[in-house]
Amino acid sequence: MPATIRDVARASGVHISTVSRTFSAPHLVNPETRVRVLACAEDLGYRPNRAARALITGRTHNIGLIVADIANPFFPPLIKAAEGQARHRDYHVFVADTNEDPVAEEELVHALAKQVDGVLLCSPRMSNSLIEQVSREVPVVVINRQVTGLPCVMMDVGQGARLAVEHLLALGHRRIALLGGPRGSWTNREMRRAAGAATRAGGADLTVLGPNPPTETGGGAAAEQVRRSGVTAVLAYNDLQAIGLIEGLDALGLRVPADVSVVGVDDIALSRLTRPKLTTVATPTAAAGRTAVDMLLQHDSEGPRGARGRSAAAGDRRTTAQVMLQTELVVRDSTGPVPPSGRDAPGA
């Protein structure tokens, strides 16, 4: 027969209400007592009734995590890290995929709002104003996007783009392309801003090609544009695009990096397995997942949040912190010196 809350109270020598608080509001319980109660619960195999606890505390101990494309290898490390961090905090994570569709994204937030204590929006495609609107319905932390007035965890892709361009400039490239991502993407905008500044500072030309789908297919489809542009190096929106571009260039008879150098962004596992191995900007996706969970739960212990009262009550307690995580350039085999035909480029 499963252990009950009474069994835990008896074994730990405390009142039933103390056991209940240990699981529902641990900050209200003396640390020594809390440790003793949790140890007894573990020994007895006791697990609190989440549904009952939600009725008492107004919290579900569930988190929603909405990603733009779960098939993109960028997201699984982030999801895994977020789930691990949530589990450590006694929370469960519901993962949902929007397939890059902002309408589906909004619908998912509304569907999850009453089932979770907060939502992590990763690389959202909704407009900032719409994100602000749905955040009034349920606490939101935005990952990989900056929204004024909301808590955000960002990866410094601008810094990464600058490092990538400076690497290409050092190799002699003066005609560089930025292979853009989805329209309206914050990452795309940051990369374009930083790459433009870096090329101007280096006396080089930047050609922006896009928007493009953030996929291998999108990269492959852009290969002909890259060939016609006459550039000698390309910074792609992400690794999937870069890998698709390399395949597309190969089909056109162009070698990487002998004819065209290619840099990706994300440092997904596949970037180390392709031939040539991909030079890329490594993004701290796992750290972003853990940080976002901590940020969302930062004020979760300050009092009950009934589903109907979330909008006003939670608004005063929510953090609006914005964290920027650093990126770094990983140089591998897909970048090399500018080919002889590209040395007379304008600005060289």
Question: What DSSP line would sit under 273-300, residue for residue?
Answer: TSSSPPEEEE--HHHHHHHHHHHHHTTG
CA 261/CA 273 separation, integer angstroms: 17
pLDDT for 318: 56
Neighbour-count burial of 298, counting CB atoms closer than 10 A to its CB (0-12 exposed, 13-18 middle, 19+ buried): middle
Among residues of the chain, what percentage have pLDDT more than 70? 89
Task: Characterize the bridge pairing of strands 119-122 and 140-143.
Answer: parallel
**Mean pLDDT of the region 52-73:** 79
- The mean of the pLDDT values for the chain is 89
- Indicate the SS3 state at residue 115: coil
Does 62-150+285-323 match 157-284+329-342 in CATH topology?
A: yes
State pLDDT tens for residues 103-140. Answer: 999 999 999 998 999 999 999 999 999 999 999 999 99
pLDDT-derived band of residue 20, with 50, 70 and 90 as boundaries?
confident
Q: Which residues of 45-69 are buried (b: 16+ CB within 10 A; e: fewer)?
A: ebebeeeebbeebbbbbbbbbbbbb
CA 10 to CA 46: how far, in whole Å?
13
pLDDT digits (tens, 9 = 90+) for 236-245: 999 999 999 9
- DSSP states along 136-196: TTS-EEEESS--TTS-EEEE-HHHHHHHHHHHHHHTT--EEEEE--STT-HHHHHHHHHHH
Residue ranges of domains in the chain? 5-48, 62-150+285-323, 157-284+329-342
Per-residue pLDDT at 142: 96
Examine the pLDDT at 307 and tell me if it is beyond 60. no
pLDDT of residue 3: 85
Q: What is the pLDDT of residues 192-231, one digit of tens each?
A: 999 999 999 999 999 999 999 999 999 999 999 999 999 9
Q: Is the pLDDT of residue 52 over 80?
A: no
For 248-262, give one letter per residue: b (16+ CB within 10 A) or e: bbeeeebebbebbbb
Which of the listed ranges 88-92, 246-250, 315-319 does the model predict with the highest average pLDDT?
Answer: 246-250
Is the pLDDT at 248 greater than 70? The verdict is yes
- Residues 173-197: tens digit of each pLDDT: 999 999 999 988 999 999 999 999 9
CATH number of 62-150+285-323: 3.40.50.2300
CA distance 5 to 7: 5
* Per-residue pLDDT, 306: 42
The terminus-to-terminus CA distance of the chain in angstroms comes to 79
With bands split at pLDDT 50, 70 and 90, how would you rate the model's confidence at 19? confident
Per the structure block, which two tokens stand in for 35?
A: 């440790």
Q: Is the confidence at residue 82, as pLDDT, over 60?
A: yes
Across 282-311, average pLDDT: 73
pTM summary value: 0.79
Can you give the pLDDT at residue 22? 83
- Could you please state the CATH topology (level 3) that the domain comprising 5-48 is classified under: 434 Repressor (Amino-terminal Domain) (1.10.260)
pLDDT at 61 (0 to 100): 86
Q: How confident is the model at residue 26, as a pLDDT?
A: 78
Q: How many CA atoms lie within 13 A of 194 on its CB side?
A: 20
Measured CA to CA, the distance from residue 347 to residue 204 in angstroms comes to 6
Summarised one tens digit per residue, pLDDT across range 317-347 is: 456 789 999 999 999 999 999 998 765 444 4
Partnered with residue 264 across adjacent β-strands are 280
CATH class of domain segment(s) 157-284+329-342: alpha beta
pLDDT of residue 329: 98
Residue type, 186: W
